[in-house]
Structure 1
Amino acid sequence: MTDQPWPWPAGAATGIGSLPGTDIAEAQRVVLGELPALPHLPELPARGPGADLIGRTGGLLVELPVELYAARWRIALRPGRDLRRARDLMERDLDQLAEQAEGYTGPVKIQAAGPFTLAASLELPIGGRLLRDPGAVRDLAGSLAEGLRLHVEAVARRLPGASVLLQLDEPSLPVVLAGRVPTESGFGAHRPVGSEVARDLLRTVIEAAGVPTVVHCCAPDVPLELIRTAGAVAVALDLGLITDLDPLGEALDAGLGLFAGAAPTQPPSAGRAPTSAEVADRVRVLWDRLGFPRRQLAEQVVVTPACGLANATPGYARAVLAACRDAGRRLHEE
């Protein structure tokens, strides 16, 4: 295990990103109250187009305007109303963060879609996913890299005492690498993106952002070694989707941090949120199975929900964040 100062405090917990509702002021209050060690900028997709992951990240792109067409985001010929809405929502969110977190001096996490999830979701002006054009994918990665650099600067200006942590959401990365993204007809699939190409483009985005970056992938078959060698400081996973411990153990041993998705995003049949003891136990059991010393756990691992909480009730979402926070403290105190 390499010695590495983690860009979060020991025993930290955070959210993945999305929360229910449409009130950004209330969402920010909940996050700052329940996750004081590592708060994040909440995403509220219930506000509609431009607040969703793809539209929100599309608003950050440089010289690649986006628009809605037939309920899908695509590259536009010129900036328009949809792009203005996405950018206005982000500005409002950053202003609210600055107001409520004034004087905050710890780490704060922001989220955006990664280049391959964007490429698998955005459409070209002539139709078809951007993923089908390797040159367009490279241009998209460059545009995203510059956009995220500017976004990180905008957050840092508003919270000058804080340190920014970036999360790239890449749920589509495994299917992009495997060539399993369907074409428009549904009868075929787009060609797989090679691992070296994917690593290089992901590294381009991470290096341009200039801050520690976590790659979040709530899917099976997460390419852990690719993510680590692209320069990510950590990977965010749903613990329920891990089937093979060996690759995870190797990545953690090589110095990758883990954002452990240990609390369900929807209540189980019992209808209650998990307790902090249950969440902590789930993380602890995994760590012990991996064979690492307990003293490392609270430093290398951040406790999170399994994924976003946009579809949860406000009460359940708040209870899950509190359970993750207290689980992180439990693990730190052991």
Structure 2
Amino acid sequence: MHQLRKDNHYVPKLYLKQWSHEGLIPTYRLLVPNEKVPLWKRQSLKGIAYRQHLYTYLVGQEETDKFERWLDSEFENPAEEAIRRVVHEERLEPEHWRRLVRFAGALDVRTPAQLRRFIIRQKVTLQELIDTTLQRSIQELENTVARGESIPRLADDAHDDAPSIFKVSIEELPEGGGQIRAETVVGRQLWIWQMKHSLSTTLSRLPIENWTILDAPVGVSWPTSDDPLIRLNLHDSGRYDFNGGWGNRGGIILLPLSPKHLLYTCIGSRPVLRGSKVDVATAHLMRKIIIEHADRYVFSNELSDIHLIRPRRVCAATHKNEQAFWQRWHHEQSQAERELQS
């Protein structure tokens, strides 16, 4: 029996260590309770960018960390050598590029910032999706029975380790017949299911040919954040937004890999040579974009002017409410998961 991993680092330590010195990383907090909090604090890699039980979920009545371990074995550990080669400017084989892109894909979905976006999106779209799926499934079952074919059944152990995301029941009606009812909880288990599905299907087929590494010019360094993967749409007016997709032609995806090295692609365009230096004006714009995309923390290898680019929010009530949310997180999610399985 292994010990349950309850401290879930949504930004891996093996990634953040590129900005650290002697195990400490300069951290700029974007939400603080009062003005007395210093602008910068050197944090241990172990003590930053994690939440307890962020990825824990219930299988039956038992807690499991299978998703955390899956992220580790499939995305983090395989990328470690590739990141080392980038930082030391050594040769990258196609397999190293593949692992970097997979690592970037995992960073795109696993952060608390993405969790909030996921919950907002599901509250808007999930009901219609469930209704459509149920209607289609019922029609397919009725057609199968009408043709005299047997209804396929899943193996009993087909999803033993999968989150239980839906509860389906059939209610008999007094006038005859019945209605089918599907319930779910927009929370941790649904999010984990969506992440695993996305990382196992869509992102697993991403091409690796159009990626490159851009170098920061002298006097500029790339920071990173607690929401480090950026999907950028650039508009003709010079405006940009963070709603880009992995398949949007002309969209830009970037991920700082060290204070000097930036993983970069412009979808559908031929990449520039690896190691090309960004001009100073573009580098300052990219740096600004990285800082603007941060959720609660910006990380840098130096104490810099980030507070001038992105002033922090000082609000005791918001800070207190957010801390209380995460203190309740595991208990509330576990309780909802148990009720869904009952």
TM-score, length of structure 1 as denominator length? 0.26
> Bigger radius of gyration, 1 or 2?
2
In proportion to residue count, which structure has more strand? Answer: 2
Q: Which has the higher contact order (CA 8 A, sep 6+)?
A: 2
Higher helix share: 1
Q: TM-score, normalised by structure 2?
A: 0.25
